[in-house]
Amino acid sequence: MGSKKDGPRLSVELGPLKLKNPVMAASGTFGYGEEYTGIIPLKSLGALITKGLSLKPRKGNPPPRLAETPAGMLNAIGLENVGIRAFLDEKMPFLRKAGCPVLVNIFGATEDEYAEIARRLSEVEGIAGLEVNISCPNLKAGGSLFAAEPKSVFQVVSKVRQAASCFLMVKLSPNVGDIVPVALAAEEAGADALSLINTLTGMAIDIKTRTPILGNITGGLSGPAIKPVGLRMVWQTSQAVRIPVVGVGGILSAEDALEYIIAGASAVQVGSGHFVDPRVGSRIIDGIQEYLKTQGIPDVASLVGSLRAGQDLRKSEA
Ligand SMILES: Cc1cc2nc3c(=O)[nH]c(=O)nc-3n(C[C@H](O)[C@H](O)[C@H](O)COP(=O)(O)O)c2cc1C
């Protein structure tokens, strides 16, 4: 599984963070890791990312919080989480023994909240780094998403960077007109890596009652339906920035993961795929290994951004 001797090399580097393979569990779909005990050996994963964490505990949105859609699902969990104190006391003791790097996904309602939670987690033993979820309403800017504007992205990421010396990955939202300026703003503010995409905002309606299916009315679309969007954004972003890009969105198989890697992702995250098959991570790692062997490629890193049409397309557009 991933680490077979003399097989192709699966290890990748995200700037300062070294992973034994490029497959991570995405935030919000893998709990705090402990929920998957006995289902998948956590040490087989490249990394795991915990459920989005805020300073204070949050109850989340009213039910229903999930809805199935063709080729995907909508969720409106509302970032329910235990808050930093319970996380450090109750979740970290287990996570320290996970056997793979643990990244903590964080969010806040203001720049100061982001900076404060980053500062308090930055030096904690057993945390390999932070994933900064900027798909949250900026309360001081009237509720528009931090992720929506390059300026607010730059400001919030700069504050987090000043507060935390650890590895920082900034998670971008697909709910923007042009992803590239936003990605460049995060890079300029000091991100070590970028992950994309978060969910696409959507909704579903019960036509008998003419009511929204989700308690929150709108929710985030994930799953196979969003893979083409994620791929396109990873492809665009990875050509524009110098820091590593991590691909997420609709990955359920090794083939899906390989598409992202070829598009330019140095690593990938698996999200709602866990709800279809909780062992999906192991399956994908084995499948990547198999592909590399069959193709005679000695190192997964050499596949990153190897899309053949990319060069020609860019030239023909210029
Ligand atoms: C139920 C659920 C909860 C999620 N919670 C978070 C979260 O707390 N923080 C975050 O950054 N992303 C969260 N996400 C987004 C996923 O990490 C991922 O970016 C998205 O689902 C797209 O990947 P997928 O198609 O593989 O699911 C959540 C997704 C789902 C389905």
Q: How far is CA 166 from CA 16, 29, 71, 88, in A?
A: 9, 23, 37, 17
Q: Is residue 231 part of a domain?
A: yes
Report pLDDT for 312.
53
pTM: 0.96
Q: Is residue 216 part of a domain?
A: no
Q: Is residue 34 part of a domain?
A: yes
Is 136 assigned a catalytic role? Answer: yes
Q: Which residues contact 6 (CB under 8 A, 6 or more apart)?
A: none
What is the separation of C-alpha 245 from the centre of its chain, rounded to a whole number of angstroms? 10
Q: How far apart are the C-alpha atoms of 257 and 302, rounded to whole Å?
A: 15
* 250 close to ligand 1 (CB < 6 Angstrom): yes
CATH code, domain carrying 26: 3.20.20.70
Q: Is residue 311 part of a domain?
A: yes
State yes or no: cis peptide before 181, omega within 30 of 0: no
Report pLDDT for 248.
98
Q: Is residue 183 part of a domain?
A: yes
Q: Which domain holds residue 92?
A: 12-61+81-202+222-317
Nearest CA to ligand 1 atom 3: 28
| pLDDT mean over 77-93 | 97
Q: Is residue 68 part of a domain?
A: no
Q: Is residue 71 part of a domain?
A: no
* 266 close to ligand 1 (CB < 6 Angstrom): no
Tell me how many domains the chain contains: 1
What is the Å distance from ligand 1's center to 27 Cα? Answer: 6
Q: Is residue 191 part of a domain?
A: yes
Percent of the chain whose predicted confidence (pLDDT) is above 70: 96
Helices 179-188, 150-163: axis angle to 10 degrees equals 30
Please check the confidence at residue 50 and state whether its pLDDT lies above 80: yes
| pLDDT mean over 162-183 | 97
* 274 close to ligand 1 (CB < 6 Angstrom): no
8 A C-beta contact, residue 177 and residue 233: no
Please check the confidence at residue 315 and state whether its pLDDT lies above 70: no
Instruction: Identify the residue with better confidence: 312 or 254.
Output: 254
* 248 close to ligand 1 (CB < 6 Angstrom): yes
Nearest CA to ligand 1 atom 8: 52
Mean pLDDT, rounded, of the chain: 95
